[in-house]
Amino acid sequence: MAEVKTRPTTKHVADFLMLITDPIKRADCFTLCQLMEEVAQAKAMMWGEAIVGFNTYIQVYKNGSTMDWPMMGFSPRKQNISLYIMGCDDERRTDILSRLGKHKTGKACIYIKSLTDINMAVLKELCQLCYDKHKR
């Protein structure tokens, strides 16, 4: 079985974010970091090479295997910012996402181009819902 590469590291989040060349994306990521730290009541930490994560929970897969994973996080990618805000029940998540603004969704991510495209109060609501679910 392959070793999981997405684990907490000792790298500094601010150093990683400062490497983002696009000044708008860099500023958005610092804002996301601040928002998620506030909701998670925890400092950001690097997970692997490119994920900024907050707190930890145990992800249980259908086959029974488990893995530590951040309660929430994000990653600045070339095309967008991937938001890892999972664990919400489908009905509430659908309602919140309908109010979020311009975004795309994947199986486990929400993709945004810029924070100017979304409603920050709704994003905070989504982060809070995710955090509350995982801390139980």
**Backbone φ/ψ region at 75: left (φ over 0), alpha (ψ -120 to 50), beta:** beta
pLDDT at 112: 97
Using one digit for the tens of pLDDT, what is the confidence trace for 19-60?
999 999 999 999 999 999 999 999 999 999 999 999 988 878
Q: How confident is the model at residue 4 (pLDDT cuts 50, 70, 90)?
A: low
Q: How confident is the model at residue 1 (pLDDT cuts 50, 70, 90)?
A: very low
